[in-house]
Amino acid sequence: MFGLTFEKLLVIAIIAGVVLGPHNLPIYAQKLAETIRALRAFIDTTRTTAEKEMGIPLQRADWQALNLRQYDPRQIVREALDEPGNTANPTEADTDNSTVAAPADTGTDLAEQARHVRPGQKFITTGSAAHPLRLPIDSLPHDDPRRIAARATTTVNTPEHV
């Protein structure tokens, strides 16, 4: 509840014991318990009043089962762009040597994404623009086409090749 762990509650209780004193602590603990009970009663009466006025039950399980992300504009646009008839492809100018914009888990073909990976590239960027995720190429499975494309050898004039 509210991110309070047992350790945090223990620290709060110790501080309250020091500040309030051992004689007043039971009195204030009783007042806190009464306040919490009154708050719960207020929430329950407000919920029942709202249910009566709206004519529908306000069950928490019903609200949790509702997927509100389906109304997210970013999700709607992402799904529209991922439709099979869409031919929009990123241009070479949209990517640089260190990262590649590749949507995460959108069903796009990995071989298509591997086309944008350059040899020697260390990371790929996946996810949406709002929440990008930078993944090391080494963390991908060994048979992943993006990893294979990044590990492709190029003829570079190094002391070994001269």
| 85 domain-assigned | no
| 21 domain-assigned | yes
Q: In whole angstroms, what is the distance from residue 128 CA to residue 122 CA?
A: 20
- Full domain range(s) for residue 42: 8-59
| 158 domain-assigned | no
Answer yes or no: are the C-beta atoms of 47 and 58 closer than 8 Å.
Answer: yes
**pTM exceeding 0.85:** no
Is residue 137 located within the same domain as residue 96? yes
Is residue 54 located within the same domain as residue 96? no
Per-residue model confidence as pLDDT tens digits over 78-127:
888 887 665 555 444 444 444 444 444 444 567 777 777 777 788 887 77
How many domains in the chain? 2
